[in-house]
A and B are shown apart, each in its own frame.
Chain A
Amino acid sequence: MTNRLLNWCFKKSIWVYHVNAGSCNGCDIETVDILTPYYDTERFGIRLVHTPRHADALLVSGPVTRQVRERVLRLYDAVPDPKLVIAVGTCASSGGIFFDSYATCGGLDKILPVDIYIPGCPPRPEAILYGVAEALGLVRPQIKAQTYVEA
């Protein structure tokens, strides 16, 4: 019962802490875009906060460089449970073109459990909005694996 209540509350108002883990700033600009009146994420109760201790979700962009790895782990620990981890951009999702670089960890999922991946270079503001809504269970995933075997 308390769990269900918690889940319900969690979905109604989600406060996000944004981490730049070595991003080129493309994804960050798109993330800031969704806070403007045009996209207006506050209608879903989503807003950026200035400290991880107030946050419900960690929104990470960038391929997680070696320098920032420890900081991201500390930020993750600072976010109170229950928490969401959102990987924004191709780099955060998998490392992107830096996937085999010695200077990066090659994606956020190498160091943290990721709840939702939002690939794109950078993802459109709509794509980020869709991804967050998907993480909250408001919309369904649209992309599916495709397989084909020649007969």
Chain B
Amino acid sequence: MLDDVISELKEVVFCLRAGQVTLGYPFRPHSPEPGFRGVPHLDMEKCIGCGACANACPSRLITLSDHDSYRTVEFNLIRCTNCARCRDVCPEGAVTMSQQFETAAPSLGDLRISLQLKLVRCRECGAAIETQRMARKVLEKIPESLGLSPQEVSWLDLCIPCKRLQALHDPVLAKDVTS
């Protein structure tokens, strides 16, 4: 009898010493540990619309579509498993993993990111080639030491089939082939 009382008193002491263990979460903010991967965050200014993330995404939630003069990059984050492959492949570092975990939403539309980037169209046939940001990137990466003529640089706004045709009819290249 006395033993029981003593053991219960002991338990009371333990519980009192432990204090409050429950997290005050919904009422007090909670920040996850540093390595935590939340939903991906897309830097709209950095993204060039290359589609590397769309290729890498295991749940195929990133889609690219070209219409009129815009390329639409769409993230349908409801399918996101926070695997961070899009972050790993992004050449511009536009995708980062945020720490946000409070992603609960009453409708699917809340979990969408859509980004419209201007397109470069082929000057011969009008097919979509790449976004203007990508074209700018390519121009930046061509070293001046290559000494490209303005005509050669102008091939950048041709699609691949048109570029082939152009090369066939180019007198300089044609001479190269025949000789």
Which residues from chain A sit less than 8 Å from chain B, CB to CB? 37-40, 43, 90, 93-97, 99-100, 109, 115-121, 123-124, 126-127, 129-131, 133-135, 138-139, 141-150
* B80:A90 contact, CB within 8 angstroms: yes
* B79:A143 contact, CB within 8 angstroms: no
Beyond A118-B103, A145-B114, 11 additional pairs, beta carbon < 8 A: A43-B22, A93-B108, A116-B106, A119-B105, A121-B82, A124-B36, A126-B25, A126-B101, A143-B39, A145-B112, A148-B44
B52 at the interface (CB under 8 A from A): no
Chain B residues with CB under 8 A of A146: 42, 44, 112-114
Q: Which of B73-92 contact A (CB under 8 A)?
A: 76-83
Chain A: minimal CB distance from B14 (Å): 13
B70 at the interface (CB under 8 A from A): yes
Most interface-central of B78, B107, B108 (chain A CB within 10 A): B78
Chain A: minimal CB distance from B46 (Å): 11
Chain A residues with CB under 8 A of B58: 97
* B106:A127 contact, CB within 8 angstroms: no
Could you tell me the distance between the alpha carbons of A141 and B112 in the complex, rounded to whole angstroms? Answer: 14
* Stretch with Cβ within 8 A of A (4 or more), from B115-123, B139-147, B157-165, B166-174: B115-123
Q: Contact check: which of B81, B102, B104 meets A96 at CB < 8 Å?
A: B81
Could you tell me the distance between the alpha carbons of A58 and B76 in the complex, rounded to whole angstroms? Answer: 25
Which residues from chain B sit less than 8 Å from chain A, CB to CB? 21-23, 25-26, 30, 32, 36, 39, 42, 44, 58-60, 70, 76-83, 100-118, 132-133
Chain B residues with CB under 8 A of A148: 44, 114-116
Chain A residues with CB under 8 A of B117: 150
Could you tell me the distance between the alpha carbons of A45 and B21 in the complex, rounded to whole angstroms? Answer: 18
* B26:A119 contact, CB within 8 angstroms: no
Chain B residues with CB under 8 A of A142: 100, 102-103
* A117:B22 contact, CB within 8 angstroms: no
Q: Contact check: which of A39, A126, A134, A145 meets B111 at CB < 8 Å?
A: A145
Could you tell me the distance between the alpha carbons of A130 and B32 in the complex, rounded to whole angstroms? Answer: 14
Could you tell me the distance between the alpha carbons of A99 and B61 in the complex, rounded to whole angstroms? Answer: 10
Q: Which 9 A-B pairs have the closest CB atoms?
A: A131-B104, A121-B81, A148-B44, A94-B78, A149-B116, A97-B59, A40-B22, A118-B104, A142-B102
* A124:B32 contact, CB within 8 angstroms: yes
* A95:B26 contact, CB within 8 angstroms: no
Could you tell me the distance between the alpha carbons of A118 and B39 in the complex, rounded to whole angstroms? Answer: 12
* A129:B77 contact, CB within 8 angstroms: no
